[in-house]
């Protein structure tokens, strides 16, 4: 098998987005995933990799293939939507890949919002869905405000806690802005997402201070020692723990699915049993609350004032999403970086399925 466009000197390779997308779709298809699953999983990972959210980008490909081929994730699910009201629905995901469930739910939420002003869809029996911002962004692209959230297996201690309790429990919101890309907030409620530990480990980098803990709850900057994450907020971590609880209620309690401490570990040894995650998406049509032009003018004024506000010495004021969209522009030209561990995983998948490695932008 020829491995084109990749480096072997330990530095990150850069690969074009088109080549990466083709490789991921081909791998999913070879692993037995149906077309909707391959499309959704690839789209979500590419959202992460394009915008610089590498912890939730294509580095998840090998993990997803293992989940699809060992029984954890249904490669050909039959999703079922049940209407609960004019603006609410529940999606039984049939243990689908989390991206397929979330995109499907958000598509329904957008339809409900277009007719009823808002649409909410609770998701049952799903799996890891990657970057929450991908699904919120899909709503904004359709002209409505999108919110997406999901709980996950316990890996985050409570404020002043010394045991795993909540998952990283991400929440994202995207808002359409006339003439530009959406305002986009995408965040874990932990100090950093778990997958960033894996990324730092691959790159041989130390963790930022106050983001991870050893088994006794004491802080560590060594990714190999990290047994749990700290909640967002540092000394005021009760705020991050509270936000994680909000996501827990919407994603698990409201959907009737497992709480974080009841979910099998993402990187546990059992890949044959579905994990039964819950999630929740919401879409709101601005015109249902205020005149559409007034909303558009308000967003424009707000962002102009925000970006024009005085920065402290050496600082730059950015709106949520600005850094990610700038990174997306850079990567569209320079290619998307692959860390060494991801590159090795790609080589294993290429050899396993007889698929050509993606050609690098630096080839």
Q: What is the CA radius of gyration of the chain?
A: 20
pLDDT greater than 90 at residue 83? no
- State pLDDT tens for residues 29-49: 999 999 999 999 999 999 999
Mean pLDDT, range 113-141, rounded to an integer? 97
Is residue 146 classed as helix, strand or coil in its secondary structure?
strand
Q: What is the pLDDT of residue 11?
A: 56
| DSSP state letters, 100-144 | HHHHHHHHHHHHHHHHHSEEEEEEEEE-----THHHHHHHHHTTS
Q: What is the pLDDT of residue 108?
A: 97
pLDDT greater than 80 at residue 140? yes
Rounded Cα distance between 14 and 73, Å, is: 30
Mean pLDDT, range 271-279, rounded to an integer? 96
Q: Percentage of the chain with pLDDT > 70?
A: 96
Name all domains of the chain by residue range, CATH numbers in brackets: 78-292 (3.30.1370.60)
Q: What mean pLDDT is reported for the chain?
A: 93
Rounded Cα distance between 136 and 206, Å, is: 31
pLDDT greater than 80 at residue 10? no
Q: What is the pLDDT of residue 199?
A: 80
First-to-final CA distance of the chain: 17
CB distance 24 to 48 below 8 Å: no
CB distance 25 to 39 below 8 Å: yes
Rounded Cα distance between 23 and 3, Å, is: 12
Distances (CA, A) of 23 to 9, 128, 200, 210, 341: 22, 21, 24, 37, 17
- State pLDDT tens for residues 202-255: 888 999 999 999 998 899 999 999 999 999 998 899 999 999 999 999 999 999
Q: How confident is the model at residue 197 (pLDDT cuts 50, 70, 90)?
A: confident
Is residue 127 classed as helix, strand or coil in its secondary structure?
coil
Higher pLDDT, 86 or 4: 86
Residue appearing with tokens 């998406």: 281
Q: What is the pLDDT of residue 302?
A: 98
Mean pLDDT, range 72-101, rounded to an integer? 96
Q: How confident is the model at residue 84 (pLDDT cuts 50, 70, 90)?
A: confident
List the structure tokens of 163: 């045991």
pLDDT greater than 90 at residue 57? yes
Q: What is the pLDDT of residue 5?
A: 40
pLDDT greater than 70 at residue 8? no
β-bridge partners, 154: none
């Amino acid at each position: 098998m020829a491995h084109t466009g990749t480096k072997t000197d330990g530095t990150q390779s850069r690969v074009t987005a088109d080549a990466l997308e083709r490789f991921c779709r081909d791998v999913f298809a070879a692993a037995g995933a149906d077309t909707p699953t391959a499309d959704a999983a690839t789209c979500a990972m590419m959202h992460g990799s394009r915008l610089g959210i590498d912890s939730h980008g294509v580095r998840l490909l090998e993990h997803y293939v293992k989940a699809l081929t060992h029984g954890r994730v249904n490669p050909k699910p039959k999703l079922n939507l049940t209407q609960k009201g004019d603006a609410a629905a529940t999606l039984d995901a049939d243990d689908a890949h989390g991206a397929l469930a979330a995109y499907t739910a958000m598509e329904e939420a957008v339809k409900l919002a277009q007719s009823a002003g808002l649409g909410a869809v609770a998701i049952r029996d799903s799996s890891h869905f990657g970057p929450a911002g991908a699904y919120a962004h899909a709503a904004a692209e359709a002209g409505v405000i999108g919110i997406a959230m999901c709980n996950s297996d316990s890996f985050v201690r409570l404020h002043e806690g010394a045991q795993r309790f909540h998952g990283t429990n991400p929440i994202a919101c995207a808002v359409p802005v006339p003439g530009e890309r959406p305002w986009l907030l995408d965040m874990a409620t932990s100090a950093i997402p778990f997958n960033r530990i894996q990324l730092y480990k691959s790159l041989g980098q130390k963790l930022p201070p106050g983001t991870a803990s050893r088994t006794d709850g004491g802080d560590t900057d060594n990714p190999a020692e990290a047994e749990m994450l700290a909640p967002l907020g540092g000394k005021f971590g009760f705020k991050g723990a509270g936000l994680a609880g909000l996501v827990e209620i919407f994603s698990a309690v409201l959907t009737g699915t497992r709480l974080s401490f009841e979910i099998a570990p993402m990187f546990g040894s059992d890949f044959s049993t579905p994990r039964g995650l819950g999630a929740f998406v919401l879409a709101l049509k601005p015109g249902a609350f205020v005149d559409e032009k007034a909303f558009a003018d308000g967003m424009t004024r707000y962002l102009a004032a925000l970006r024009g506000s005085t920065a402290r010495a050496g600082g730059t004021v950015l709106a949520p999403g600005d850094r990610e969209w700038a990174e997306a522009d850079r990567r569209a030209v320079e290619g998307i970086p692959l860390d060494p561990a991801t590159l090795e995983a790609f080589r294993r998948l290429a050899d396993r399925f007889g698929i050509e490695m993606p050609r690098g932008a630096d080839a």
